[in-house]
Amino acid sequence: KLKKIRIDNHQCLNAYLCVKHPELEMDWNVMETLRMLRNAISYEGKKVDEPMWRTHKLQFDIYTKLLMKEVEKKIKEERQLL
């Protein structure tokens, strides 16, 4: 079942995913690194150089696909209950 939770920030969301969904095997340190990188870009206007982007892009893509797959699975399960 899809859970409707409210969070105050991305750090809380990452903690929720790591603690409440260990089956996803999302690493807290990776999540925190990606969050801080995103914040530096969005809030401080910092640029990401090519080596740094290459370092984090694979993990970003893996986690994005993992979350999308999990959400699609939960939506399918919900539809089957209707």
pLDDT in tens, the chain (82 residues): 667 888 899 999 999 999 999 999 999 999 999 999 989 999 999 988 888 888 899 999 999 999 999 999 989 988 888 7
pLDDT at residue 30, as a whole number: 94
Unique residue bearing structure tokens 């929720």: 16
Answer yes or no: pTM beyond 0.85. no
**Cα–Cα distances in Å, from 49 out to 15, 18, 40, 56, 71?**
28, 28, 12, 11, 31
